Structure 1
Amino acid sequence: MPTFAAALPPRRPPAFLAWVCALLALWLVALLLGPALLAASGLALNPHGHAHLYAHGHPFVDARVLWSIPNAMDVLSNAPLSLAGLLGLLALRGRGLPGATRAALVVFFTGLLVTGFGSALYHWSPDAAGLVADRLGMAVTFAGALALAVAERVGQAPARPVLVVAFMVAVLSAALPYTHGNVLPWAVVQFGGVALIAWAALQAPAPGAIGVHLGALIAWYALAKALELGDAAVFHATSGWISGHSLKHLGAALAAWPVLAALLAQPLRQNAAGSGAARA
C-alpha cells in the first residue's frame, strides 16, 4: 500500500486505493470461484471460449474466404491494430516523457502491435489455443492503458506498480479460459479495468500528464464492444458486406488515437531534434 500511496495528491489516495483493492478482491473471487459460478449460472463455453457457434463451426458470423484467406474480413481487419501500435512506438522515439508514462506507452503500443498479429492468427483458424494468443496481446494492451490512466490522473509513482501488477494479472487471466475453463478473471480485467479508467477520466490531470483524452479512449472501446456484441446484426444490416466483429477491430484501433494524438503533441528532445537536423 505505501508504494501506491507515495506522492499521491491530497484526496486521491483513498479513492484510488479503494478502486485498486476492490478490483483485486473481485479478481481473486473470480479466480477462486469462477468455475463454480459459471456452473451455477448454467453458462457453458465451447472450445472457442464462446457460448455460441454458427453453422460453419466458428463463433463469428462472417466466414467468407477471400484471396484464399479463410474468415478473410476478420483476419484482415486486424491490420489497423498493428499499424496503430507501430505508429505509437515510432512516435515515442526522441520524445521527453516522464518515466512511468513512457513505460506505460511502450507496453500499450506493443500490446496493440501484438494484438493485431495474434487476433489475425486466431481468426485465420479459430480454436481455443489461438484465442489465448489473441487475448495475450489484449492483456498487454490493457495493462498499458491502465498504467497510463493512473499516470495521467493519479501520478507517476503509483503508475509503476500498477503496470507490473496489471500486466501479470491480465496475462494470467488471458490464459485461464484455456487452462482452467475460467473466463471470469478475464471479464474482471476487461470491465473492471474500463471502470477504473472511467473513474480516472473524471479526475484532474496529475503532474506530468501528457493530456490523453481518457473519455475518448473509453468511448472508442465501448463502441468496439458494442460492434462485437452486434456481430451478426451488423452483418445482416450491411447485406453481408461487413460484420460487427470486423468493425470491432477498427474501433479498437481507433481507441489508440487519443493516446497517439497526445503523444505527438509532446516536443522532441533538443538533442534528438538536433541530431535529426544534422542527419538531414
Structure 2
Amino acid sequence: MRLSDDPHIEYPLFVLFLVIYLLTLMGNLMLLLVIRADSHLHMPMCFFLSNLSFLDLCFSSVTLPKLLEDLLSEEKTISVEGCLAQVFFVFFSSGTEACLLSVMAYDRYAAICHPLLCGQVMSNQLCVRLVLVSWALASLNAFIIVLLSINLDFCDSRTIHHYTCELSALFPLSCSDTSINYNILLICSLLHGLGTFLPMFFSYSRIISTILNISSTTGRSKAFSTCSSHLIAVILFFGSGFLCYLLPPSGSSMDLLLSLQYSVVTPILNPLIHSLKNKEAKAAVKRTLEKYLIF
C-alpha cells in the first residue's frame, strides 16, 4: 500500500524516512564503537547494550530500505519469498531484542538488589551464554512462525494491506486455511512475549521494593537512575509491540501507524535513551569525541 494517496507527499516522506534511517545507523554504530573503544564501558550492561544496538541496526535494515524503495516506485511489489524473508528477520531481530531487554532487567536487579555480589553473579561467561540463548530462542521462534507460512497458497488478489510484510496482513490473502497459522502465531507471540516480560516484571518488582526501602532521597534517586534508561526502552518496545502483535488487528490506519512506530522510530530512540540517560555512556561518548577531535 501507499503511505499516502497523494504521490507528491511520498517524496517528502522518502526524505524523512531516509534521515531517520541514517540517524539510526549513525547512532547505533557510534554506541557500538564507543562501547568497544572505551575500557570504562567493558561491563555486563554495556555488553548487552552493544548487542541491542547491533539488533537495532538489523531491525531497521529489514524494512526501511524496502520502504524507501517503494516510496520512489510506482509499483510497490515484493516477491513471496522476499516477503517471508522480511517476516523472518523482523521476528528474529525483535524477538532477540525482547530477550536481551529481559536479560538487562536481571542485570539491573543484580546491580541494585545485590550490589556486592553483582560482579560474581553477572560473570563474563554468563553474559555470553545469556546473549547466545537469546539469539537461539528468537531464531527458533521466527523459524517456526515462517516455516508454517511457506506452504500457503495465495489467491488472485495479492495486495498487502500494509506498508511492510506483516503476517496479520499476509494471511487474509491466502486461499489456504490459515486458522492454524493464526493460532500458532498467537501462541508463539504470547509465549515469547510473556516469557520475556514476566522476568522483567519480577525483576523490577524487586528493584522498586529495594529502592523504596532506601532511607535517603539521594540514594533512591541514584538507584533509580541506574535503571531508568532501560525501563524507558522496555516500555517503548513492549508497549508498541503488544499493540502491534497481541491485540486483534482492526485494519485501521492506527494499526499501520503503530507498526511504523515499532519498526522505524523505536530503533532510533534506543541509542538516544541509553546515551543520554546513562552517565557512563554519556561520559564515554564525550571522551571518544574529544579523543578523535584532538587527533
Q: Secondary structure at the match of 1:259?
A: helix
Note closer, same or farther for the CA distance 1:224–1:98 as it changes in structure 2 (3 Å cut): same
Select which of 218, 231, 243 maps to 1:215. 231
Pairing of 1:179-198 with structure 2 (within 5 A): 179-181=147-149, 182-183=184-185, 184-198=187-201
Q: 1:226 and 1:190, CA in 2 relative to 1: closer, same or farther beyond 3 A?
A: closer
1:66 to 1:256, Cα distance in 2 relative to 1, 3 A: farther
Q: 2:47 aligns to what? A: 103
1:165-176 alignment, distance < 5 Å = 165-176=133-144
CA separation of 1:261 and 1:192: change in aligned 2, threshold 3 A: farther
Q: Distance in 1 between matches of 2:265 and 2:288?
A: 33
Q: Choose the corresponding residue for 1:128, options 84, 96, 99.
A: 84
Q: Which of structures 1 and 2 has the bigger CA Rg?
A: 2
- 1:127 Cα deviation after fit: 1.9
1:172, distance to aligned residue in structure 2 (A): 1.6
Alignment of 1:216-255 (within 5 A): 216-225=232-241, 228=244, 232-235=251-254, 243-253=257-267, 254-255=269-270
Instruction: Tell me by how many angstroms 1:222 deviates.
Output: 3.9
Cα distance in 2 between the residues matched to 1:109 and 1:216: 15
Q: Distance in 2 between matches of 1:87 and 1:62?
A: 30
**CA shift at 1:153, angstroms?**
1.5
- Cα deviations across residues 196-240 of structure 1 (Å, max 9, x unaligned)? 22322233389x99823233222212442366367854559xxxx
Name 1:11's counterpart in structure 2: none
Output the CA distance in 2 between the equivalents of 1:180 and 1:134.
Answer: 16
Letter of the aligned partner of 2:105 in structure 1? A
In 2, Cα distance between equivalents of 1:101 and 1:193: 17
Structure 1 residues 180 and 226: alpha-carbon distance in aligned structure 2, compared to 1, 3 A threshold:
closer
Query: 2:214 maps to which residue?
Result: none
Q: Is residue 76 from structure 1 mapped to residue 79 from structure 2 by the alignment?
A: no
TM-score, with structure 2 as normaliser:
0.55
Out of 127, 130, 141, the residue aligned to residue 97 of structure 2 is 141
Matches of 2:64 and 2:243 in 1, distance apart?
A: 18
Which segment is superposed worse, 196-205 or 165-174? 196-205
- Residue type of the partner of 1:139? G
Q: How many Å separate the matches in 1 of 2:240 and 2:46?
A: 26
Q: In structure 1, how many angstroms separate the alpha carbons of the residues matched to 2:99 and 2:47? A: 11
Asked whether the equivalents of residues 235 and 243 of structure 1 are also in contact (C-alpha less than 8 Å), the reply is yes
In 1, distance between residues paired with 2:240 and 2:64? 17
Q: How many angstroms apart in 2 are the aligned matches of 1:231 and 1:260? A: 36
Q: Residues 215 and 169 from structure 1, CA distance in 2 versus in 1: closer, same or farther, beyond 3 angstroms? A: same
State the secondary structure of the residue aligned to 1:211.
Answer: helix
The one-letter code of the counterpart of 1:76 is F
**Structure number with higher relative contact order (C-alpha < 8 Å, ≥ 6 residues apart):** 2
CA contact (8 A) 2:64 2:264 kept: no
Q: 1:151 to 1:110 in 2, by over 3 A?
A: same
Change (3 A) 1:66 1:160: farther
Provide TM-score, normalisation by structure 1: 0.57
Verify: 1:115 aligned to 2:130, yes or no: no
The count of corresponding residues between Structure 1 and Structure 2 is 212
What amino acid is aligned across from residue 88 of structure 1 in structure 2? L
Distance 1:153 1:243, change over 3 A: same
Structure 2 residue ranges without an equivalent (≥5): 71-77, 111-117, 150-183, 212-222
RMSD between superposed Cα atoms in Å: 4.4
Of 214-223 and 128-137, more deviation after overlay is shown by 214-223
Question: If each structure's helix is expressed as a fraction of its own residues, which one has the higher value?
Answer: 2
How do residues 147-166 of structure 1 correspond to structure 2 at under 5 angstroms? 147-154=103-110, 155=118, 156-157=122-123, 158-166=126-134
Q: CA deviation at 1:250?
A: 4.9
1:48 is matched with none
**Structure 1 residue aligned with 2:32:** 89
Structure 1 unaligned segments of length 5 or more: list them.
1-55, 237-241
Looking at structure 1, the residues matched to 203 and 129 of structure 2 have their Cα atoms a distance apart, in angstroms, of: 16
**Percent identical across equivalent pairs?**
8
Conserved in 1, the CA contact under 8 Å of 2:102 and 2:199? Answer: yes
